[in-house]
């Protein structure tokens, strides 16, 4: 449950932030087309999440007509928060298929991701707390990102330009009580992850390999990509048999240990660690498309020594996760050491276990051969 707040909410929480369709609430400064979801590509961001009309019921996270819920095979880890993802493509428009990168999306597209914690991860009926909804708006001059933080009733969320800190408590899968100070990013921090290519803000999750799966259990969508194609919202797709698919990292039946470990690194790390990403100077390419072991870290020394290496010689040492810089940084919560640098304050124990097992199973040596 939400235990308390350390707020950094924008001044929009003042008079401009009434609730939803309440006739007594002050008008929002944004302009949204009548009759359905959307936004003005040339206007300001809305002060209230409800103004975009993305949900019929925000508390239940029930999407409005035209808003498609979707999931990823392996989601980004965010301090054990659960997430609900939604996509709105303007009527009559379509995303364009890409085998590798995020789909090219028309102006007017909205991507929304709600972060929430169940009171008890073992019992969905025990209730949950909505924390924030992050949105990406595609304007004519590019993408704009922002976060909206929910009120105590989980019925309205307000623009948080300055970010926020939210104290959260829940019961974990193992029955243990856990807490975290959840960090809602400020507007500038959104760029830390979303500038995946050439310092340009854009979507991360809506890629063919991540979305190639069945829909959310309550969505009625059997195949996410086919559903978008049939709805006219995704164009240019090749034959289904050629669609790429990244496995779920935690499902041994979904792929090999290596494939699952690489998929986890791809979604958690490759938005920075790719040849065009913010961490390109490291020379480490953790994208799933990279097939050369040295390029994704096997027997690759760090570009710069220091605390980040922990005295370990290579990013990945075959057969020895304890001597691998990659594991050292994934298991750290120290600001100067941890990877990813932002978006987490806890260690993803299940994800790191897969990375450890993958490295432990690697054959070979980094020692020069005679």
Whole-number pLDDT of residue 213: 97
Q: 3-state DSSP helix/strand/coil percent for the chain, to nearest 5?
A: 20, 25, 60
Q: Is it the case that residue 359 has pLDDT exceeding 80?
A: yes
Whole-number pLDDT of residue 287: 95
Please classify residue 317 by burial: count the beta carbons closer than 10 Å to its beta carbon, then call 0-12 exposed, 13-18 middle and 19+ buried. buried
| 8 A C-beta contact, residue 245 and residue 260 | no
177 SS3 class: strand
Whole-number pLDDT of residue 205: 85
Percent of residues, the chain, with pLDDT higher than 70: 88
Neighbours of 131 (CB within 10 A): 24
Place of tokens 């949105």: 135
Whole-number pLDDT of residue 191: 59
| 8 A C-beta contact, residue 301 and residue 314 | yes
Cα separation, 192 vs 203, whole angstroms: 12
Q: Give pLDDT tens digits for 122-154.
A: 999 999 999 999 999 999 999 999 999 999 999
| 8 A C-beta contact, residue 95 and residue 80 | no
Cα separation, 151 vs 130, whole angstroms: 9
11 SS3 class: helix
Place of tokens 């020594």: 305
Per-residue tokens: 194: 């979303």
Neighbours of 77 (CB within 10 A): 22
Overall residue count recorded for the chain in this entry: 370
The model's confidence at residue 370, banded by pLDDT at 50, 70 and 90, is very low
Q: Is it the case that residue 23 has pLDDT exceeding 70?
A: no
| 8 A C-beta contact, residue 171 and residue 155 | no
Q: Give pLDDT tens digits for 150-185.
A: 999 999 999 999 999 999 999 999 999 999 999 998
Q: Is it the case that residue 190 has pLDDT exceeding 70?
A: no
Could you tell me which of 187, 188, 148, 184 has the C-alpha nearest to residue 164? Answer: 184
* Cis ω for the linkage preceding 299 (within 30 of 0): no
Per-residue tokens: 182: 């959840």
Whole-number pLDDT of residue 306: 58
Q: Is it the case that residue 250 has pLDDT exceeding 50?
A: yes
Q: Render 196-225 in DSSP notation, one character per residue.
A: -BTTB---SS--HHHH-S---TTTT-S-HH
Q: Is it the case that residue 4 has pLDDT exceeding 50?
A: no
More confident residue, 20 or 145: 145
């Amino acid at each position: 449950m939400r235990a308390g707040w350390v707020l950094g909410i924008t001044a929009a929480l003042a008079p401009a932030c009434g609730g939803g369709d309440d006739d007594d609430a002050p008008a929002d400064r944004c302009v949204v087309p009548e009759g359905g979801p959307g936004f003005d590509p040339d206007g300001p961001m809305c002060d209230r999440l409800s103004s975009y009309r993305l949900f019929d019921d925000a508390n239940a996270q029930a999407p409005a007509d035209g808003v498609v819920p979707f999931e990823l095979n392996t989601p980004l880890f965010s301090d054990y928060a659960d997430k609900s993802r939604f996509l709105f493509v303007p009527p009559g428009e379509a995303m364009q298929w890409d085998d590798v990168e995020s789909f090219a999306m028309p102006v007017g597209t909205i991507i929304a991701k709600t972060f929430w914690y169940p009171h008890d991860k073992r019992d969905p009926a025990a209730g949950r707390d909505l924390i924030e909804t992050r949105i990406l708006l595609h304007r004519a001059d590019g993408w704009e990102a922002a976060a909206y933080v929910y009120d105590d009733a989980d019925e309205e969320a307000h623009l948080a330009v300055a970010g926020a800190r939210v104290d959260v408590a829940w019961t974990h899968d193992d029955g243990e009580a856990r807490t975290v100070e959840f960090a809602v990013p400020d507007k500038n921090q959104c760029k830390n992850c979303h500038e995946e290519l050439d310092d340009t803000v854009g979507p991360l999750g809506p890629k063919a390999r991540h979305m190639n799966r069945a829909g959310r259990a309550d969505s009625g969508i059997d195949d996410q990509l086919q559903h978008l194609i049939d709805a006219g919202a995704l164009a240019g797709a090749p034959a289904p048999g050629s669609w790429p698919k990244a496995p779920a990292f935690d499902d041994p039946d979904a792929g090999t240990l290596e494939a699952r470990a690489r998929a986890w690194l791809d979604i958690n790390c490759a938005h920075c660690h790719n040849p065009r990403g913010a961490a390109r100077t490291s020379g480490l390419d953790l994208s799933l498309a990279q097939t050369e072991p040295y390029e994704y870290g096997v027997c690759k020394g760090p570009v710069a020594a220091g605390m980040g290496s922990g005295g370990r010689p290579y990013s990945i040492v075959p057969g020895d996760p304890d001597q691998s810089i990659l594991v050292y940084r994934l298991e750290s919560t120290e600001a100067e050491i941890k990877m990813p640098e932002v978006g987490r304050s806890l260690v993803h124990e299940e994800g790191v276990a897969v990375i450890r097992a993958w490295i432990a199973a690697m054959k070979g040596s980094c020692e020069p051969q005679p």
